[in-house]
Amino acid sequence: MRRQHAAIPRNILVSFDISSIAGRDQLSGVLRYLRSRPQWTPRLVANPVDFTPALVRGARSAHVDGIIVNHAGSPEAEHALAESDVPLAVVGIRSQVLLSRKSAIAFIRNDNIETGRIAARYFRSLGNFRSFGYIPAAHSGEEWSTGREYGFRTELNRYGRRLSVFQGAADAGASPLALAEWLVSLQKPAAVFAAWDYPAMQALEACRSERLKVPHDVAVLGVDNDSLVCDATVPPLSSIPFDYERQGYESAAALAVLFEKPAAHLQKPLTVMCRPLPVFVRESATATSPASDLLKRAMRYIAKNAAKGISMRDVARELGVSQSLLSLRFREFSGGTVMDAVIAARIQKAKHLLATTNRSIKDITAASGFRNANYMKSAFKRIIGMTMRDYRTKMQKTTKQV
């Protein structure tokens, strides 16, 4: 019976705001899932302005079987979505209006509690901080911000540590002096987690004004991994990224669940929580011990030389340490191996060449540092989730759409 359901043709209305990298990655995830459902026909509405109430209300008569959105459009379109009976998957939107819809709806959300827990575990891996602080979002009671605070606090409690919360919000125009005074009051060294990247940036500015050394006196960690913010701060900001491509994939998968379940079983929303990715480490929150410095030097060497066909022996020789010590430090701090990092760097090179050139797979194999094309194809599919050919096609289509 499952195969019969899967063979049913479906018309899917997809309205994604792709003006940001997050939106484009979410759309890529949707398209990746649709490749496994060739009988599903997507209709893309790339401009949110074109996602009108009339479009939503006319969905049934236009033979639309399901809708996936990462924005609610206008307030009128949002109400039309709430009133519609067309199965709906919503990516990342916090909407009381849509929450009022009880049937045939799925919400795909970031796991904010787990985000806070990841922050606490990451800080614990860096060393023995004497105090921990949290900077909340602008508006008191924001569910996503309180969820991150809760996860951070409860994970710290497991280690017998207490949390100090800044009584304000840096991203709401709170006094820079108040934030600076709070940071100064924390016992040093202190670990500070911000609800998102912008207040983390404000914290770094306050540290600079008070001549607090980062990360020696205060380590700062944000959320979202917005490169425009994180790479521009002094020092560059460490941040927890979200897997937006996964969110898009899960939204389409959730729509399939809505199609397969009888209407009587869809009387409450389906919620899918997406775990964040590991911390993207920059200078604002990194270990200051010789062991962590060894890892940083190794990663810099790998990023620069992975495409030259280097081995673990080459990395160890460059750093002047034994292969066994290098392997131990990688397991301690990254949870992976030296060659995992080398292969990941080579895959990044291959992704860039696939997206920006028409070079053959054979040429890209050599240019990326792989000796065997079949091995590279296997590694690429395992890490990226699709073949090299499919990835090139996806990137070409996405570029044309944008």
Residue 400 has a pLDDT of 58
Separation of alpha carbons 172 and 105, rounded Å? 33
Q: Are residues 303 and 330 in the same domain?
A: yes
Instruction: Assess if residue 18 is contained within a domain.
Output: yes
Instruction: Assess if residue 139 is contained within a domain.
Output: yes
Judge if the upstream peptide bond of residue 189 is cis by omega within 30 degrees of 0: yes
pLDDT band at 140; cut points 50, 70, 90: low
What is the mean pLDDT of the segment spanning 362-369? 93
pLDDT band at 206; cut points 50, 70, 90: very high
Mean pLDDT estimate for the chain? 88
Most confident of 56-65, 86-95, 135-144: 56-65
* CATH code of the domain containing 212: 3.40.50.2300
Q: Are residues 164 and 58 in the same domain?
A: no
What is the mean pLDDT of the segment spanning 289-294? 67
* 245: pLDDT strictly greater than 90: yes
Residue 268 has a pLDDT of 77
Q: Are residues 99 and 140 in the same domain?
A: no
pLDDT band at 202; cut points 50, 70, 90: very high
Percent of the chain with pLDDT over 90: 65
Residue 261 has a pLDDT of 78
User: CA dist 177 to 106, 185, 196, 202, 294, Å?
Assistant: 43, 12, 20, 11, 37
Q: Are residues 262 and 306 in the same domain?
A: no
Instruction: Assess if residue 218 is contained within a domain.
Output: yes
Residue 290 has a pLDDT of 60
Instruction: Assess if residue 284 is contained within a domain.
Output: no
* 267: pLDDT strictly greater than 80: no
103: alpha, beta or left, given left = phi > 0 and alpha = psi -120 to 50? beta
Quote the pTM value.
Answer: 0.68
Q: Are residues 186 and 224 in the same domain?
A: yes
Instruction: Assess if residue 282 is contained within a domain.
Output: no
As for how many domains the chain has, the answer is: 3
Residue 344 has a pLDDT of 92
Q: Are residues 261 and 360 in the same domain?
A: no
Residues sharing a CB contact under 8 Å with residue 255, sequence separation 6 or more, in sequence order: 12, 66, 68, 87, 89, 106
Instruction: Assess if residue 285 is contained within a domain.
Output: no
* 208: pLDDT strictly greater than 70: yes
Q: Are residues 329 and 371 in the same domain?
A: yes
Q: What are phi and psi of 99, to 5 degrees?
A: -65, -20
User: CA dist 9 to 37, 56, 137, 141, 263, Å?
Assistant: 9, 20, 44, 43, 19
Question: In the β-sheet with 40-45, what is the strand arrangement from edge to edge?
Answer: 40-45, 10-15, 66-69, 88-91, 105-110, 270-274
Q: Are residues 248 and 105 in the same domain?
A: yes
Residue 239 has a pLDDT of 94
Instruction: Assess if residue 78 is contained within a domain.
Output: yes
pLDDT band at 1; cut points 50, 70, 90: very low
Which of 240, 265, 300 terminates a domain? The answer is 240
Q: Are residues 105 and 166 in the same domain?
A: no
Q: Are residues 236 and 130 in the same domain?
A: yes
* CATH code of the domain containing 308: 1.10.10.60
By mean pLDDT, which of 66-75, 280-289, 298-307, 333-342 is the weakest? Answer: 280-289
Q: Are residues 20 and 102 in the same domain?
A: yes
Instruction: Assess if residue 203 is contained within a domain.
Output: yes
Note down the domain range covering 15: 2-110+244-274
Q: Which residues pair with 106 in a beta bridge?
A: 89, 270
Residue type, 228: L
223: alpha, beta or left, given left = phi > 0 and alpha = psi -120 to 50? beta
Residue type, 251: S
Q: Are residues 186 and 155 in the same domain?
A: yes
For residues 168 and 173, the model is more confident at 168
